[in-house]
Amino acid sequence: MKEESALAAFAALSQETRLRIVRLLIQAGPKGMAAGDIGAAIGATTSRLSFHLAHLEHAGLIQSRREGRFIIYTALYPAFSSLIAFLMQDCCQGHPEICAPAVTAMACACDPTSADKA
């Protein structure tokens, strides 16, 4: 991942409405969610929602597909993996014990029974 992409991704994630959209889509999984359902879940008017969805899509964090009259948005998981790897690159210079908690936090996030630990 290039620095430019990482900056765009972090900028996209630094806004309340967009962060909520992203977390919602990450939790929704590969089946995704329709724009209207996202708007209802986070409480945003259509123009505001559309603006932020476009922003996230442009940043490469989500993607959309049309299904009839609905537009379905899904999280792009590899983008998040790359972003995390870019940020934490060479984080411990060969001493993994320094950043092990970060790896554990990541693994915990994947285990629904312990997601709140970190």
Partner DNA sequence: GCAATAACTCAATAACTATTGAGGTGTTGA
Partner DNA sequence: TCAACACCTCAATAGTTATTGAGTTATTGC
| 78 is a site residue for a copy of itself (CB under 8 A) | yes
Tell the burial category of 83 from Cβ atoms under 10 Å away from its Cβ (0-12, 13-18, 19+).
buried
Give the three-state DSSP class for 112. coil
For a copy of itself, the closer of residues 68 and 97 by Cβ is: 97
Look at residue 36 and give the partner it binds from a copy of itself, DNA, none, a contact being a CB closer than 5 to 8 Å depending on partner kind: DNA
| 46 is a site residue for a copy of itself (CB under 8 A) | no
Look at residue 55 and give the partner it binds from a copy of itself, DNA, none, a contact being a CB closer than 5 to 8 Å depending on partner kind: DNA
Q: SS3 string of 3-70?
A: HHHHHHHHHHHCCHHHHHHHHHHHHHCCCCEEHHHHHHHHCCCHHHHHHHHHHHHHCCCEEEEEECCE
Using CB under 8 A, list all residues that contact a copy of itself.
1, 3, 6-7, 10-11, 13-16, 19-20, 22-23, 26-27, 29-30, 77-78, 80-82, 84-96, 98-112, 115-118
